[in-house]
A = this chain, B = another copy of it.
Amino acid sequence: MDKFSVFSSRLVEKSENFTSGHRACQGCAEALAVRHVMKALGRDTIVAMSTGCMEIISSPLPLTSWRVPWIHNAFENSAAVISGCESGIKAMMRKGKIPAKKINFVAMGGDGATADIGMGALSGALERGHDMVYICYDNEAYMNTGIQRSSSTPYGASTTTSPAGKASIGQHTQKKNMAQIAVAHNIPYVATACSSFPFDLMEKVKSAAETPGAAYVHVLSVCPTGWRIPTQDAIKYGRLAVDSCVFPLYEVIEGKYRLSYKPYKKLALTEYLKGQGRFRHLTDKEIQLIQQRVDKDYERILRLSEEEE
């Protein structure tokens, strides 16, 4: 449990803009992340959401878990849909067709929607520089359709389309680094976050929303179903990901890196991997190799953050 949380829950927005009654799995920390994000954003927000777990579990006609204006159109295009919402409102406000007021334009999608099928739409929206926030809920696979690999699935994870088997270690490509790709788009705000660190997450979402222009927030979202862990451990595994530096928390503001959280003691990767069904098949040697990669990537982030200081 992260150190800030104990006594500061009372500072958190009480109202729920993403309501109970949604049909996420028991213990879904992706739904939790949505809940946190919506607290940070508040009511003056328009959300465009990609097809995926969060969409399906929140909107079975005629019911909706959303209390803010919400639109789902397709799987790969929420970045483009929100571009349209933003452009439309901007034009209408400028022309006096509707009263001016600050509205957060937020697109959301899973890692598949973001790093794979929606990459084109996202890249285009970032480049055009709409005043928007894109939030990727990264549960490291296509969960909605039954745990298929995405380009954000980590090396070595077994999924239904990258199964571990006699001739395969499971996923055999490295996790695509979406935050880094977003940074390469030269947008003013990029951050990584995790719902196991809710205050940090909420602060980042607020910063993103306040940044004029395009912002990108990459949220590691633990999926007990897909990761094959007990439901009650969803928060724990988010913490382990961060504390073992598999998923460092940082911000990149106008190209400058800032580490948001440095683990008191960097945990060994095994802490994180063990207990997750998707990694069960990995040998110690394989874990060793992965550890090297994690170290290297973390050092890079450390170096970049220090450079900026």
List residues of chain B with CB within 8 A of the CB of A124.
Answer: 116, 119, 151
Whether, in the assembled complex, A275 has its beta carbon less than 8 Å from a beta carbon of chain B, the answer is no
B181→A127 contact, CB < 8 A: no
B127→A173 contact, CB < 8 A: yes
List residues of chain B with CB within 8 A of the CB of A120.
Answer: 76, 116-121, 123
Alpha-carbon separation in the docked complex, A154 to B104 (Å): 29
Alpha-carbon separation in the docked complex, A30 to B101 (Å): 47
Alpha-carbon separation in the docked complex, A236 to B186 (Å): 30
The number of chain A residues touching the other chain, given as a range, is 20 to 34
* Overall SS of chain A's interface: helix
Whether, in the assembled complex, A205 has its beta carbon less than 8 Å from a beta carbon of chain B, the answer is no
**With A119-B120, A120-B117, A120-B119 in contact, is A128–B173 under 8 Å at CB?**
yes
Q: Could you give 15 example pairs across A and B, Cβ below 8 Å?
A: A76-B120, A115-B123, A118-B120, A120-B120, A123-B123, A123-B181, A124-B151, A128-B173, A129-B173, A174-B186, A176-B185, A177-B184, A180-B184, A181-B181, A184-B184
Cβ 8 A contact of A184, one of B116, B129, B183: B183
**Closest residue on chain B to residue A181 by CB atoms:** B184
- Pairs A-B, 7 closest by C-beta atoms: A120-B120, A184-B184, A180-B184, A181-B184, A119-B120, A127-B151, A119-B123
